[in-house]
Chains A and B, each alone.
Chain A
Amino acid sequence: MIRKAVRYVDTRTGTAPFLRKALRYVFPDHWSFLLGEVALYAFIVLVATGVYLTFFFVDSREDVVYHGSYAPLQGQHMSEAYRSVLDISTTVKAGLLIRQTHHWAANVFLAAVILHLFRVFFTGAYRKPRDLTWLIGVTMLMLALLEAYVGYSMVDDLMSGMGLVIGYAVGLSIPFVGANVMGWLFHGPFPGGAVLIPRLYIAHVLLFPILIAVLLTVHLVLVALRHHSQFRGRRQTERTVIGIPLFPGQTPRSLGLLFAVTGVLFLLGGLVQINPIWLWGPFHTYISTNGAQPDWYLGWLIGGLRLMPGFDVTIGHYTLIPGPFWGGALFPMVVFGFLYFWPYVERKLAGDVAFHNLLDRPRDNPLRTGVGVGMVTWIFLVFVAGSSDRVQVLFDLSYTGQIWFYRVAVLVVPVVTGFVAAWVCRQLVRGEQVELERRRAETEGRLELASRLDQA
């Protein structure tokens, strides 16, 4: 049976030699190498659930009066888009399960991407020959953020409408061209034309997913062509990769991980409410709700917008830089700029243009680890600042006080944590050297003792 199948494939495609090689492809098996796989599987769940949702979503801002089964919005004006998502959440059997799983998958996808990015950064896996893989990865992260943002913006509920106008304002704040670009994309000033929701929709279900899928493929092919990197070991060298083969070793494990990811996401989707748009109600430009927040992966941007003191840079009547630019546009540009250019900056700083198949441990490179920890602290503080209104509500800590605290903290704390991290790295390495010398001395001592005993 198996032989028949293999023969069928080989005779039709002639790929048996290739399969023979591919099945024995070696995976170094450190657990942290699986984080990217988690992201990949979450993406698969996103595509599968997303396709299902497209069969019900109506991409229209046409004003309709709701007469469905959900009493609290009975008779209210809303867009067709919002009504269709309301229907998915209320009347379509299993619709809500799929919708919530889709949303949880997005949240977990980006969490996995970030963890994967941390792993790659702090081990120096982005060095030659894998710098291209890194650049593609960073680009995918940016696309994923946009993809997620347009995804929840097109639903047109109260929260998403507020998120959309904030994104619009950030776009508007781009010097010289902001208003032109946003007016062009939205078809006029906010709330834009009737074409806006169809545009968001096609971007969400076609444009960005295809871009991500193509880059994902290139990303994976590049990984396979250059093989996985690995940590240094007794047998692991720059020339030899040690690990378990794709088949049979890795396959059941990866499938297990795939089903674990899918299972966790469906459990979350079924048991834990996420973005209950039926509770938020429809959006109108003239209403808003307190405590509106973006999903977690955009929390750093709302933090940036809230932390920045209010001023527009003006020259006479010309507004050179409107306020939202700093926190909403410049901040992410700096972060992504750092991600794009760091491999080359590091190469210059360290004068290191060699091939690296072996990874560093974070402690092996105090400069990189220090800079990385500083950056992470910086972004994390701004991120936390974004939820200070909720902290005020829950713990009664003054919002204005918190904002001023963070305004100072984001400038000071990253520098401190960066230096502390670098210092810890050096101490760890020094500790290891001491331990190594102690052992060597011990062994030498033992040998000497033995030889003396021999002589005696």
Chain B
Amino acid sequence: MSRARDALLAGLVLLLGRRREPPRPDAHLLPPVPKQPRAETAAIALLFVAALCAAAFPVVYFVDAIPAKTQYLGLSIGLALLFLAAALIVAAESVIPTEELAHAYPPDEHQEDEEYVAGLVEESGKGFTRRGLFKLGLFSAGGALGVAALIPAVSFGPLGVKEFYGTSWRKGRRLVDENDVPLRAADIHEKALYTAFPEGADKEEQGSAVVVVRLPQASLTLSGRVEGYDADGIVAYSKLCTHAGCAISLYRAPLFAPDEPLPALVCPCHYSTFDPSDGGSVTFGPAGRRLPMLPLSVDGKGELRARGNFDDSVGPSWWGVRERRPSP
């Protein structure tokens, strides 16, 4: 019973409240706009065209007979949106009142309030007698907690660089192609490029892939620590560019040496160019280091084997790239 009365009362209050609502102002809030029936018609028409275009979207989606789905879907939704945009812009320019207003910029600063805030903070510390020590404590706690919060991130990955030196190449490991078929020295022809991997290793590992080419033995100028790294003119280099690590899959191999560019291994990312006859030295481009070379030998069955690991670290350079040779 009392609930009903409450409801009645509330209704009455609401009604009265509504009656007390200020009468609609006669003064206009916005400046008058000259009537532009044609612009209004245009805006309305554009809206309906937009609706039509958008309606085509589900049709295209569901009717399987319509080819080139992506194009028609894009066309319908794209045009629908553009027509909608056009309708709004037409309305904004001609139908909806647009007035120019002036506002004062907010004051540059509120000195009194600044003073109050600063004072408030200052006074909040009045009770401290060893303020410096308290601050130190705060910073220590905050700092230590901050460090502690970051520690779990260490687990992301190894912080050391040991893995950067290792590869799967070992003395005596056979060179196999992508299908794990061993490479035979007799099958390696001049003017041909082969990609090889250590037998049984992960081919995607950065130290795995090597490029193998055969050059006329007389043209080889292997010296220093790569001296004798070839096997009867067959040489193998890491396939990863020493500049940015892309795969060196370009082999410039002249057919008629006297008037064509010399043999070169080239990276397609920034066109670092390496000389395969000279231990992979850089002849052009941004690489800062020659290609790491893999020592080769031919076993009794005529198959190619590694005689050890690369003479230098594979992949792009880092601070320690010259410090150690890959573990043999």
Contact of B78 among A168, A270, A290 (CB under 8 A): A270
Chain B, range 60-110, C-beta contacts under 8 Å to A: 61, 69-75, 77-82, 84-86, 88-89, 91-92, 96-106, 108
- Contacts A173-B318, A266-B81, A288-B247; is A241 near B75 (CB within 8 Å)? no
Q: Which size class do B's interface residues fall under?
A: 35 or more
The reply to whether A289 and B244 contact each other, CB–CB distance below 8 Å, is no
Bound CA–CA A120/B205 (angstroms) = 47
Contact between chains at B78 and A263 (CB < 8 Å):
yes
Cβ-defined contact, B73 with A189, below 8 A: no
Nearest CB on B from A163, distance (A): 9
A180 CB to nearest chain B CB (Å): 5
Task: Tell yes or no: A269 within 8 A of B by CB.
Answer: yes
Q: How far does the alpha carbon of A240 sit from the alpha carbon of B159 in the complex, in Å? A: 57
Task: Say yes or no: is A389 at the interface (Cβ < 8 Å to chain B).
Answer: yes
Instruction: List chain A residues, Cβ under 8 A from B61.
Output: 93-94
Min CB gap B320→A, angstroms: 7
A270-B246 in contact given A190-B315, A355-B108 (Cβ < 8 Å): no
How many angstroms between the C-alpha atoms of A310 and B209 in the bound complex? 23
Smallest CB-CB separation from A96: which chain B residue?
B70
**What A residues does B88 contact at CB under 8 A?**
252-253, 255-256, 259
Evaluate contact between A252 and B91: CB separation under 8 angstroms. Answer: yes
**Chain B 237-251: CB-based contact to A (< 8 A → 1; otherwise 0):** 001100111111110
- In the bound complex, residues from chain A placing their C-beta under 8 Å from that of B163 are 183, 188-189
Q: Which of A244, A310, A319 has the most CB of B within 10 A?
A: A310
Chain B residues numbered 24-48 whose CB sits less than 8 Å from any CB in chain A:
30
A317 in the interface (beta carbon within 8 A) = yes
Q: Which residue of B lies closest to A182 (CB)?
A: B318
Query: How far is the CB of B167 from the nearest CB of chain A, in Å?
Result: 10
**Cβ of B310 to closest chain A Cβ, rounded Å:** 14
Decide yes or no whether B173 CB sits under 8 A from chain A: no
How far, in whole Å, are A182 and B159 apart by their CA atoms in the complex?
9
Separation of A48 and B232 alpha carbons in the complex (Å):
61
Q: Please name all residues of chain A whose beta carbon is closer than 8 Å to the beta carbon of B287 when the two chains form the complex.
A: 310, 323
Contact partner, B203, options A225, A253, A286, Cβ 8 Å: A286
Within A232-246, which residues are at the interface with B (CB < 8 Å)? 235, 238-245
Q: Does A324 contact B (CB under 8 A)?
A: yes
- Given contacts A253-B89, A256-B89, whether A263 and B319 have CB atoms under 8 Å apart is no
Q: Are B70 and A168 in contact (CB under 8 A)?
A: no
- A361 at the A/B interface (Cβ < 8 Å)? no
Residues in B neighbouring A284, C-beta threshold 8 A: 203-204
Q: Does A62 contact B (CB under 8 A)?
A: no
Within 8 A of A (CB), among B245-291: 245-250, 267-272, 282, 284-289
A195 CB to nearest chain B CB (Å) = 8
Contact at B99–A311, with CB atoms within 8 Å? no
Question: Contacts A166-B244, A288-B249 given: A318-B320 contact, CB under 8 Å?
Answer: yes
Q: How many residues of A contact B (CB 8 A)?
A: 102
For B132, list chain A residues within 8 Å (CB).
none
Q: Is B323 part of the contact surface with A, judged by Cβ < 8 Å?
A: yes
A184 and B158 in contact, given A166-B269, A323-B288 (Cβ under 8 angstroms): yes
Query: In whole angstroms, what is the CA distance A165 to B243 when docked?
Result: 10
Q: Which residue of A lies closest to B24 (CB)?
A: A3
Most buried by A among B69, B105, B203, B284: B105
B75's partner among A162, A267, A317, A400 (CB-CB below 8 A) is A267
Given contacts A227-B106, A285-B209, is CB(A180)–CB(B92) below 8 Å?
no
**A94 pairs with B103, CB closer than 8 A:** no
Query: Which residues of chain B are within 8 angstroms of A271 by Cβ–Cβ distance?
Result: 71, 74-75, 78
Q: Are A169 and B243 in contact (CB under 8 A)?
A: yes
Q: In the bound complex, do residue B156 and residue A165 qualify as a contact, i.e. CB atoms below 8 Å apart?
A: no
Q: Is the interface of B mostly helix, strand, loop or mixed?
A: loop
- B36 vs chain A, min Cβ distance (A): 14
Q: In the complex, what's the smallest C-beta–C-beta distance from B156 to chain A, in angstroms?
A: 5
Q: Indicate if the CB atoms of B315 and A270 lie closer than 8 Å.
A: no
Residue of A nearest to B89 (CB): A256
Choose from B74, B92, B318 the contact partner of A178 (Cβ within 8 Å): B318
Q: Which residues A248-293 have CB closer than 8 A to chain B?
A: 248-249, 252-253, 255-260, 262-271, 284-292
The residue among B30, B96, B97, B286 with the most chain A CB atoms within 10 A of its own CB is: B286
Contact check, B319 vs A244: say whether CB atoms are below 8 A apart: no
Chain A residues within 8 Å of B120, by CB: none
Tell me whether A193 is interfacial, beta carbon within 8 Å: yes
The answer, yes or no, to whether B322 is at the interface (CB within 8 Å) is yes
What is the distance, in angstroms, from A360's C-beta to the closest C-beta of chain B? 17
A335–B188 Cα gap in the complex (Å)? 49
A386-411: CB near B (< 8 Å → 1, else 0) gives 00010000000001100000000000
Inter-subunit contact A389/B271 (CB<8 Å): yes
Residue of B nearest to A192 (CB): B157
Chain A 289-323 per-residue mask, 1 if CB under 8 angstroms from chain B, else 0: 11110000000001001111111101001111011
With A248-B97, A305-B244, A322-B318 in contact, do A286 and B208 touch (Cβ < 8 Å)?
Answer: yes
Known: A183-B163, A253-B92. A227 touches B103 (CB 8 A): yes
Is A218's CB within 8 Å of the partner chain B?
no
A318–B323 alpha-carbon span in the complex (Å): 6
* 6 A-B residue pairings within 8 Å (CB atoms): A239-B104, A243-B100, A264-B82, A312-B317, A318-B323, A319-B321
Q: Interface residues, chain B, CB within 8 Å of chain A?
A: 30, 61, 69-75, 77-82, 84-86, 88-89, 91-92, 96-106, 108, 154, 156-161, 163-164, 195, 197, 203-206, 208-209, 239-240, 243-250, 267-272, 282, 284-289, 315-323
Contacts A24-B101, A179-B318, A305-B270 given; 16 further ones with Cβ under 8 A?
A: A26-B101, A94-B69, A101-B74, A168-B245, A169-B245, A177-B319, A180-B159, A248-B98, A252-B92, A266-B74, A267-B82, A287-B249, A305-B244, A308-B286, A310-B282, A312-B289
What 4 A-B pairs have minimum CB-CB distances, sorted nearest first?
A270-B74, A263-B81, A267-B78, A169-B316
